Amino acid sequence: MPKVLVVDDDRHIRDVVAFALRKEGFAVAEATDGAAALAAAARENPDLLVLDILMPEMDGTEVCRRLRATSPVPIIFLSSKDDEVDRVVGLELGGDDYVTKPFSPRELVARVKAVLRRRGSAAATASADEDPPPHRVLRRGALALDLDAHVATWNDATIDLTATEFAMLRALAERPGKVFSRDNLMERAYDDRRYVSDRTIDSHVRRIRAKLAVAGGAPIETVHGVGYKLAPVTPGA
């Protein structure tokens, strides 16, 4: 049973979100502010956070920044319609998705399920008395993507990607040299068929590039006016 940590200083919103999630079979933990969220994340080890951006003292983006220093746990931000900049900043910090207020509880639950599907958190584990099947690994030179464990490496150095970032990099790696438009990447990264802005896609790509650069790689190229592609990568590049 996946566990979701719901963080919002508005009790009504917490109650609505928690009720909708429990109705769909999720375990739910709650936190009322940023500091409590960090403590609950360490204590509860949730599979995903639903995290409000606008909170007093420590806002959601700061919570995300601190969590990302130690954890790749998926994060869905809750944000107001008029704070697009905050939403983009949240995605740049490593958020997986966002939902704007006011929102449909059904839509939020669908987003939670979609992120967990991409993450692989809901996949059944192999029986303890059976030998686990070999992982499917997609290799492109120095880049390797473990498709079952959702782990990316560059020259064996692990790259901590969010579920959305992993889906985008997988799409590029499956067709190296092919130019993907932003719409193409959106379809691969968001399996609930919804629309996100070009700016959101660009934010995700910047994050992937930055993480690859730290590991020593920079294989994603921009094709101006069209989109992005994975450049040829040689082993040990």
- DSSP three-state, residue 234: coil
Check residue 234 and give its pLDDT.
64
Per the CB < 8 A criterion, the answer to whether 14 and 133 are in contact is: no
pLDDT at 41 over 70: yes
Per the CB < 8 A criterion, the answer to whether 7 and 52 are in contact is: yes
Nearest to 209 by CA among 152, 156, 149: 152
Check residue 126 and give its pLDDT.
34
Check residue 122 and give its pLDDT.
38
pLDDT at 129 over 50: no
Check residue 20 and give its pLDDT.
94
Q: Is the pTM of this model over 0.95?
A: no
d(CA 21, CA 99) in angstroms, rounded, equals 15
Q: Higher confidence at residue 82 or residue 58?
A: 58
pLDDT at 130 over 70: no
Q: Tell me the average pLDDT across 228-235.
A: 78
What are the boundaries of each domain within the chain?
A: 3-119, 137-230
Residue 1 sits at the vertex; the CA angle it makes with 102 and 3, to the nearest 5 degrees, is 45
Phi, psi of 177, rounded to the nearest 5 degrees: 90, -20
Check residue 125 and give its pLDDT.
36
The tokens of 237 are what? 């590049």
d(CA 144, CA 121) in angstroms, rounded, equals 20
Per the CB < 8 A criterion, the answer to whether 170 and 147 are in contact is: yes
d(CA 190, CA 22) in angstroms, rounded, equals 24
Q: If you search the block for the tokens 């949730």, which residue do you land on?
A: 46
Confidence of residue 22 (pLDDT cuts 50, 70, 90): very high
Write down the architecture of domain 137-230 according to CATH: Orthogonal Bundle (1.10)
d(CA 215, CA 155) in angstroms, rounded, equals 8
pLDDT at 90 over 80: no
Q: Which of 23-27, 71-75, 190-194, 202-206 has the highest mean pLDDT?
A: 23-27
The CATH superfamily of 3-119 is Response regulator (3.40.50.2300)
Q: What does the mean pLDDT of the chain come to?
A: 83
d(CA 9, CA 167) in angstroms, rounded, equals 32
- Point out the least confidently predicted range of 98-112, 158-172, 181-195: 181-195
Check residue 219 and give its pLDDT.
84
Strand order in the sheet with 75-80: 27-31, 3-7, 48-52, 75-80, 97-101
In b/e form, how buried is each residue of 190-220, taking b as 16+ CB within 10 angstroms? beeeeebeeebbbbbbebbbebbeebebebb
